[in-house]
Amino acid sequence: MIRYRAMTDVENPNVLRFFEQYEAVAALEAHVETDHYRVFNDDLPNFVDGRIETIRFLADDSETVDFDIDELRTES
């Protein structure tokens, strides 16, 4: 099960934040293998002007992943 929400930043309306919550790491791993995720990932460079930051919270731990569009393109 995935819960998600998207909203603009309070201080900068040009910043869009996505929040996703997965029941388990396996659910996240399965999600990134879906066709709709791949389409979203492939189209994202057309909508982003700047850096992308991902913050992943795993139980009591967190990880920040910072990348730019060129790095995103090489991952698809």
Q: What is the pLDDT of residue 51?
A: 83
The span from the CA of 51 to the CA of 48, in Å, is 8
Q: What is the pLDDT of residue 38?
A: 92
The span from the CA of 42 to the CA of 75, in Å, is 9
Determine how many CB atoms are found less than 10 A away from the CB of residue 5. 9
Mean pLDDT confidence for 13-27: 85
* Angle of CA points 21, 26, 32, to nearest 5°: 75
Confidence at 53, pLDDT banded by 50, 70, 90:
confident
Q: What is the pTM of this model?
A: 0.58
